[in-house]
Amino acid sequence: CPNNIGMSGVSSHCHVSSQRCCHRGGVVGAFHSHSRAPVSRPLARRRALVSRAASSRVPLCTIMSVPPRALVLLADGSEEIETTAPVDILRRAGAHVKLASVEVVAGTWARLGVAASRGVGLVGDVSVEEAAQGTWDVIVVPGGMPGAKHIRESEHAVKLLQSHKGHVAAICAAPAVVLADAGILAQGDKATCHPAFAESLTDQIGKCADDRVAVTARTGGDQGSLVITSRGPGTAIEFSLALVALIFGSEKAAEVAGPMVVHDGALDGAAAVSAALA
């Protein structure tokens, strides 16, 4: 477990209850396999409030006291900054954020620990199959290769993205490799991605925008739901602040940005989200 990692990156002692690791969700080089365990389903009241927030275009936190819930997908080869920046910044804002691993062992056991694109060990909170049992205000897909490819090849991840009719966000390779391939981005939508995947995205939806953060209404989603896309590690903070604006509002995004000493244009994506929600 993260509290017991030795120099080799291998846990020397791990208390396991019902085949689950006692420490999860850290950014460390621990790799464990876990059995699938049920997670509690959100109450019907929350589902109704989520629907109300989407239809009224009012940030969820303004109509309920329960923190908004965000899910960040995770795979071997996911880009580290693009994965952790949304987790960090959304948690600064007060969101309840979970990392969901798409990896499995022998096609059966969920593997929460992954090796990210630069070899950094990341540990998910839940498997993507467990995450599918919950309700999320936004689902975030990081880029990085082959991480985006692994997410696209995960049947559970694709089904989760397609069945979730609320907000979706993706960065770097993921808009082209995951969202367009899954039909979440459609012809004519405004979206951006890493320059290396711009031609692919253009082929799929007609154009790749030059914006550092692009916002479009979600085709086939709930009323008021958006798709937010961005370009790469260098735009990950702007992307994440846009997610804060999406579920908390632009004032909260500015509040979170202040102590982070971000550059002057870091809230441009947040402003684009606010305009789309207006």
Active-site residue numbers?
Answer: 172, 194
Q: Which DSSP symbol is given to 176?
A: I
**Helical spans, DSSP H, in the chain:** 44-56, 80-93, 128-131, 147-153, 155-163, 174, 198-205, 236-248, 250-257, 268-277
**Among the listed residues 115, 87, 129, 89, the one whose alpha carbon sits nearest the alpha carbon of residue 31:** 115
The set of long-range contacts for 88-91, using a CB threshold of 8 Å and a minimum separation of 24, is 88/240, 89/237, 89/240, 89/241, 89/243, 89/244, 89/256, 89/260, 90/240, 90/243, 90/244, 90/247
